[in-house]
Structure 1
Amino acid sequence: MKNKFILMFMLCLIFISCKQDPDLYLYDDMDNLKDEQKTLIEVLKKTESKEMSFAVKDRIAKNLKVKKKNKLLIVFLSSLVENDPDDTYKGYWLLMLANEYMEQKMNEPAAYFFERVIKLDKDMEISGKSIQYLSLKNLINITNDPKRLVEYYSLLLSNFYDSIDPAYSYFMLAQNYEKLGEWNLAIQSYSKFIGLGRFDLIIPGIPDNYGYARKIVDYSSSTKSWTMESLDELLSVIKSAIQRKDYDTLERYRSKVNFFSMAWKQELSDIYGSPDFSLRNFMYGTYIKIEPEIDPSSTPHEAYLKTSGWNQYSRIWYLYFRKVNFPADPEIHGRWEWAGIYYGEKI
């Protein structure tokens, strides 16, 4: 990729050098800013001050931006980056160049130049913000590759912990480790996320992020003895235990990972930290009716079994069963578990 961008830059320079004045592109067709650009160019040629040189170059670039000379701005910024590799302000020009490509919806070259910023030995600040921090945030927004995203989130957490939401970053780091099949590292990152106690974290597309992370971590450290190979086998055990009022068996086959009991309209995130309960208290002295078949809304991955007659404000319970989704452990992945209870008629 690097060679492609350098070639494009060299072709632009060759095109410009063919003109009578190599700086013509900086002031040609600039209307009311033409004279200012010419003056700035002359000052730039004469000054020996690094600070003055930076200020003049920045003004030239911003004038091109004002006049929407986007391609010429890219040429100018590229020349600053490639012609003076030891420039103190190289990171600033790289960031400006990357932002310009990103604004033009050219994410591949934008990512290339953002990458160059984060690999610089020295960071610098613009308006109180680190250019490497800004580059990492932009790279995360334009990148889909989980391997690169692992690198970016890791850098944010190690270098800019106080400037970010660490809970969000740990969760996304874990998600990308998961996509790479790096389950041990994913579990470590999910554990750090859970340790921050962010029940309220909102992540678009992942409404129950805390529950998901806790499930992964708990699965990794549990015996998984409550799962069964088939739904029919698990249903048979649970139905028989209810009919016999065999509390011990019911407790044994309740999922040990995120087992829930909630109303249909409740959010899973609302029940974390709520006290557990004993099924014995809700079965004593009553007859529990069990529907012979699972609910028609059941799917190959989850099932609902209607029961009624419980000693509770809601006498109707739907027992919820699901397939375990935990690729990190093939011995449990795809097996069935009794995962929770919904109170009341199904909505």
Structure 2
Amino acid sequence: MLKKVSYAAGIAVLLVCIFAFPSSVSTAEPNRREQMQLTSLLKKSDLAPGSRYAIVNQIANNMLSANEYQSAVLFLTDWVQKHPDDAYNSYWLLMTGYAYLSIGAEPFAEYYFDRILRHYPDLLVKGRSVHFLCLKNLIRISKTSSTRIAYFNEMINRFPSDVSVTELYYRRALEYEKDSEWEAALRSFVQFLEQSDAPTIQIAGEPNAYSDARRLVDFNNSSKDWTFENLDDLVAAVKSAITRYDWRALDKYCSKINFFYMSWTQDENDPNSQKEFSLRVYMRGQRITFSDTLERGTTPNEAYLRTRGWSPYSPVWYLYFRKVDFPIDPDINGNWEWAGIYMGERLL
């Protein structure tokens, strides 16, 4: 799972502990004399590559540990510009991106992280891929779905063993939906469901990831012939079937995907609430009545019909109707379906 990092508080610790050589310099205010000495050393033309890396890294980390982020940015970008052949330029620009994150300048950080991916080879420092860290940050801070999708794809293709591909398939599908790429979203949901850990994975902010994806894919693969173009026609058909005690018609009008039968306190996504049953047994020998008018839901996309007489143990049932949200098929999107049954008096 992707983790968030507190950059303003932890930038110096992150860079020193993960990437830098051990430092004897305190993370307090850098010693100005030491900085001058390091700068003087850096000007020597006979420096070995390893020594030059250590000096540049120490100068930058001294600035970062003193919260001199703008100075660090100027130093690092100037170094990269003047030394285009430095093998560690991708790392210096990564530090630049983190410095911008530390001052809340995410658009500038995004520019540098993306620049590294597009124009600089990957680099392993202390066993960590610079490109991988760039992608993690870009996925977190990018503001547009199209760019986030591109970063998800690159992460999946290049670093499948370092991330939860299952989660990334799901999150990518959500981004496709935001971008109205319905077919691509459906394919990504299918890929998510194909993963062995999809039924059990816990995705932050998406507690019903598996059931939501399963419902969408199953709905796409179904006949959808139980939906009605408008709510009035659906309710009229259900009322007529109840009046005639026509259980076969009622069974036909029930949604064939995740139809639920539950109390008001249960969760629709609870497997125990999802029933495949015939209304035949509930209509036999009963006197069933219904209200003349519908009760509206909390949104314009749902409605309830109060009925009574189905069972001596729970005589009151509310039939729940909702508008179909399925933009991938304009002929079905916006139709209405009978999605489930709530037992007992309505809880407001």
Q: TM-score range by the shorter chain?
A: 0.7 to 0.9
Q: Which residue of 2 aligns with 1:286?
A: 286
On the 8 A contact 1:293/1:305 being kept in 2, the answer is: yes
What's the TM-score, normalizing by structure 2?
Answer: 0.84
On the 8 A contact 2:91/2:130 being kept in 1, the answer is: yes
| Pairing 1:38–2:39 present | no
Letter in 2 for 1:45: K
Gaps in structure 1 of 5+ consecutive residues = 1-29
On the 8 A contact 1:318/1:341 being kept in 2, the answer is: yes
**What is the rounded CA distance, in whole Å, between the counterparts of 1:180 and 1:193 in structure 2?**
18
On the 8 A contact 1:310/1:316 being kept in 2, the answer is: yes
Counterpart of 2:295 in 1: which secondary structure? coil
Does the C-alpha gap of structure 1 residues 121 and 280 become closer, same or farther in structure 2, counting only changes over 3 Å? farther
Letter in 1 for 2:92: W
**What is the rounded CA distance, in whole Å, between the counterparts of 1:200 and 1:305 in structure 2?**
36
Where do 1:18-167 residues align within 5 Å?
A: 33-46=31-44, 47-120=46-119, 122-167=121-166
**What is the rounded CA distance, in whole Å, between the counterparts of 2:181 and 2:229 in structure 1?**
26
1:152-182 CA-partner distances (Å, limit 9, x unpaired)? 1111221222222223211121112122222
Does the C-alpha gap of structure 1 residues 32 and 77 become closer, same or farther in structure 2, counting only changes over 3 Å? closer
1:94-148 CA-partner distances (Å, limit 9, x unpaired)? 1100111111111111111010222256322344432222211211221121110
**What is the rounded CA distance, in whole Å, between the counterparts of 2:134 and 2:160 in structure 1?**
15
Q: Which residue of 2 aligns with 1:343?
A: 343
On the 8 A contact 2:93/2:113 being kept in 1, the answer is: yes
Q: Which residue of 2 aligns with 1:26?
A: none
On the 8 A contact 1:133/1:156 being kept in 2, the answer is: yes
Letter in 1 for 2:199: R
User: Aligned-pair RMSD on alpha carbons?
Assistant: 2.3
- The structure 1 segments of at least 4 consecutive aligned residues displaced by more than 6 Å after TM superposition are none
Counterpart of 2:43 in 1: which secondary structure? helix
On the 8 A contact 1:260/1:271 being kept in 2, the answer is: no
On the 8 A contact 2:267/2:273 being kept in 1, the answer is: no
On the 8 A contact 1:291/1:307 being kept in 2, the answer is: yes
Q: Which residue of 2 aligns with 1:320?
A: 320
On the 8 A contact 2:69/2:102 being kept in 1, the answer is: no
On the 8 A contact 2:307/2:316 being kept in 1, the answer is: yes
Letter in 2 for 1:114: F
**What is the rounded CA distance, in whole Å, between the counterparts of 2:201 and 2:311 in structure 1?**
33
**What is the rounded CA distance, in whole Å, between the counterparts of 2:216 and 2:281 in structure 1?**
30
> Deviation at 1:312?
7.1
Does the C-alpha gap of structure 1 residues 273 and 158 become closer, same or farther in structure 2, counting only changes over 3 Å? farther
> Deviation at 1:199?
5.0
Counterpart of 1:268 in 2: which secondary structure? coil
**What is the rounded CA distance, in whole Å, between the counterparts of 1:161 and 1:270 in structure 2?**
31
> Deviation at 1:216?
2.5
Total equivalences in the alignment: 317
Q: Which residue of 2 aligns with 1:25?
A: none
On the 8 A contact 2:260/2:273 being kept in 1, the answer is: no
**What is the rounded CA distance, in whole Å, between the counterparts of 1:227 and 1:293 in structure 2?**
20
Does the C-alpha gap of structure 1 residues 215 and 36 become closer, same or farther in structure 2, counting only changes over 3 Å? same
1:62-100 CA-partner distances (Å, limit 9, x unpaired)? 111122222111100101222222221111111100111
Letter in 2 for 1:279: L
Q: Which residue of 2 aligns with 1:201?
A: 202
1:190-242 CA-partner distances (Å, limit 9, x unpaired)? 111223333553442x5433333233322322222111111111011111212
Does the C-alpha gap of structure 1 residues 340 and 307 become closer, same or farther in structure 2, counting only changes over 3 Å? same
Letter in 2 for 1:318: Y
**Percent of aligned pairs with the same residue?**
38
Counterpart of 2:87 in 1: which secondary structure? coil
| Pairing 1:221–2:254 present | no
Counterpart of 2:341 in 1: which secondary structure? strand
Deviates more, 1:120-129 or 1:68-77: 120-129
| Greater relative CO (CA pairs within 8 A, separation 6+) | 2
Deviates more, 1:277-286 or 1:138-147: 277-286
